[in-house]
Amino acid sequence: MTDDERQRQMDFIVEQQAHITAKLGTLTEKVDALADSQRRAERRWEQTEGGIRALLAIAESHEQEIRAHDLLISANSRQIAALTKAGRETDERLNALINTVERILSERRDGGPRQG
C-alpha cells in the first residue's frame, strides 16, 4: 500500500468518523427532544389524572346529595299524602256541618221548631 493510498484511507476514515459524529449529535438532540416531550406528556397526564380524580369525587358527592334529596322527596310525598287525606276528611266534616247548618236555617225559615 502506498502512502497516497494510506492517506486516502485515513481521510476516508476521518470523513466517516465526522459523518458518524454529526449523525450521533443529531440523534442525541432528537432523543433529548423526545425525552422532553415525554416529560411534558407525563406532566399533562398527571394533571389529567388529577382532574379525573377531582371529577370523580364531585360525582360521588353529587350522588350522595341526590340520594339525600330522594329521601327528602319521599318523606315530603308521604307528608303531602297525609295532609291531602286530612284535608279531604276536613272537607267532608265541613260539608256535613254546612249541610246541618243549612238544614237548621231552612227549617227555621220554613217555620220549623226553634230551639234555644
Q: What is the mean pLDDT of the chain?
A: 94
Q: What is the pLDDT of residues 77-95, one digit of tens each?
A: 999 999 999 999 999 999 9
pLDDT band at 112 (very low <50, low <70, confident <90, very high): low
pLDDT band at 110 (very low <50, low <70, confident <90, very high): confident
Q: What is the pLDDT of residues 32-80, one digit of tens each?
A: 999 999 999 999 999 999 999 999 999 999 999 999 999 999 999 999 9
Contacts of 106 (CB under 8 A, 6+ apart): 112
What are the C-alpha distances in Å from 85 to residues 4, 95, 97? 118, 15, 18
DSSP code for 111? T
